Chains A and B, each alone.
Chain A
């Protein structure tokens, strides 16, 4: 039986390519449903950060990036996508928090049913991804330690 499992896993690995942005339904800041594959525009790479109103380190990380964004954007062309993993009850709070934290440079995404989170296999927040212009995931990181944002920018610069 074990052999069969290994064989099946091996077979799976051979059919696997580099992970990329899945195509699932989420909502934008105005509550309109759209497909996550539309985030990929073929021109600009992006930082995708999964956060929640109850996740302090997530908010710290997004605040830190927001602080540096005006300087970074002069050096590299990229977008920041903040994905709120809050469910329907906390979406309003998440929207208010994003406004009150001045995340106006970000593309705000609301993943109320957790479909995007599950498709990306996000178990812990903050979970952050650097994605190239074609939607391929080139870097990801779990958790946030102050200063960790610099590594993300290094990855973005490599994609220019």
Chain B
């Protein structure tokens, strides 16, 4: 509380000072988000409940801008945290606060900040409230940009773990880029080289030290970007530094830990033009998991970003078994050094007036992705299938009032994450139909069916939504596992939006499984209850 008052006073005082300096008043923007669940008992789904059957996640954020100066705070309150969220989120705290000054060339930040090097394989700190991730660095950052030619960034700090910076871990980083094409004045072509260095320091215990581990390690990343006429190629090579893992051969050599050198490679090719968007991505990674602290196994304990590079689905039934990347582990004595795989993603727009496009055009999307674990350490050869997905989507406005989207997906999922070879194969079809009675009154229906001979067998789901634009939306839905458990996962609710304020209330059953956002997932237990979400910004 004291800290909050102090910081608010500082921010307010500097705002007043800025106003006094020039007539140009600054402005304040902020937002508030509250997500509250009242949990109900539900023996059918084995639903989990917290003590008191009540949980609430709350976030208040405010930022002040004046010319080149900005400052901001974020308050978080978990009373307690919703179930399934990392257990290190508890109580109320002023979690983030920063001051920043930037002009066209220089950018200086003190306090909390988010950043990433390249694709985030080496280093990324970010916030994702769906996952309960906020790894903001507490420290300082200086960046300098020379025209469009070169940039250099240096940062230092302690990443956040749970409610506060984890000060035992100190991170220092350097990141630079050089545009060769701008340097020689080429037009129509972009060619740039980028590189990063990252030092991570965390004291280790005597056992880890005796196993040959060191508290400090340095990793690097080298990148090349090329772009010309709709064609883009990106390549990245990462040496992630040393990682300390539990020793799977403890009984044989009597050491508690093993030290593994992390490395990753990423290649991305894409083309877009004439209504066609196509991209091909390949990634191999080994021992790449990077943690804020060795001592925590929470899902928000991450210092880099290793998302699943595959189709990102938005229908519940297509996310029953999402792909979880395998960056390398020795947990349970099973050594799996990493994975290799890739995806192909194609979007095409059949324009109006063409044979397939018809009067209103047609959009199609195709995604193929597959991942394997590595044959052995250091290898580039695939071994066991971890994941395979093919999906085709078609979207067509059939008449002025009726729009149809169809999706077919085939997913093959290794449920032991590569320990065994067994996979579950599912075939899924989804129809998403929108009918507009008037320009602002519409209904939307989602009908889906999943066929599989494994796990819990077949599922089906239906959703009906009624919309009164721009404020009201009501829905009822049910996802039904009729193949095995016979459980209905029903939900109903509404949302009301007025400008920047949105209130949503729903009640229903939620199955246990994975909650994913941006290709990163966290486990979530089954729960039943009423959910109130309020968000506003000003």
Contacts and interface: CB of A to CB of B under 8 A. Distances in A.
B422 interface: no
Interface in B456-475: 467-473
B502 A142 contact: yes
Interface residues of B, number: 100
Contacts of A67: 360, 397
Contacts of B440: 147-148, 150
Interface string B271-309: 011011111010000000000000000000000010101
Dominant secondary structure of chain A at its interface with chain B: mixed
Given A31-B225, A142-B500, A150-B439, A99 B276 contact: yes
A96 interface: yes
B398 interface: no
B349 interface: yes
A89 B309 contact: yes
A126 to B, nearest CB: 11
A158 interface: no
B537 A123 contact: yes
A47 B395 CA distance: 24
Contact of A89 (B120, B225, B314, B537): B120
A68 to B, nearest CB: 10
A54 interface: yes
B8 A1 contact: no
A92 B28 CA distance: 33
B25 A16 contact: yes
A87 B535 contact: no
Contacts of A5: 4-5, 8
Interface residues of A, number: 64
A7 B6 CA distance: 11
A151 interface: yes
A8 B8 contact: yes
Interface in A105-160: 113-114, 118-124, 127, 139-143, 145-148, 150-151
Contacts of B347: 96-97, 99-101
B321 interface: no
A96 to B, nearest CB: 3
Interface string B10-52: 0111011011000001111111010000000000000000000
Main secondary structure of the interface of B (DSSP, over half): strand
Contacts of A124: 33, 502, 535
Given A102-B351, A145-B468, A17 B26 contact: yes
A99 B361 CA distance: 14
Contacts of B332: none
B436 A121 contact: no
Contacts of A7: 9
Interface in B497-538: 497, 499-502, 517-519, 535, 537-538
Contacts of B361: 102
B439 A96 contact: no
A73 interface: no
Contacts of B18: 15
B31 A147 contact: no
Contacts of B501: 142
Nearest to B26: A15
B202 interface: no
A102 B114 contact: no
B314 A56 contact: yes
Interface stretch (B59-67, B157-165, B243-251, B408-416): B59-67
Contacts of A92: 232, 234, 268, 270, 279, 281, 345
A146 B307 contact: no
Contacts of B537: 121-123, 127, 140, 142
A9 B1 CA distance: 14
A121 B61 contact: yes
B424 interface: no
A95 interface: yes
Interface of A: 1, 4-5, 7-9, 11-20, 22-23, 30-33, 35, 53-56, 67, 86-90, 92-93, 95-102, 113-114, 118-124, 127, 139-143, 145-148, 150-151
Given A4-B8, A96-B279, A96-B346, 10 more contacts: A1-B2, A22-B70, A32-B148, A89-B519, A90-B519, A96-B345, A97-B277, A100-B276, A123-B129, A151-B469
10 contacts: A1-B5, A8-B12, A16-B64, A31-B225, A90-B518, A95-B270, A99-B275, A143-B495, A146-B444, A150-B470
Top 5 nearest A-B pairs (CB, nearest first) are A100-B347, A96-B277, A147-B469, A147-B440, A99-B277
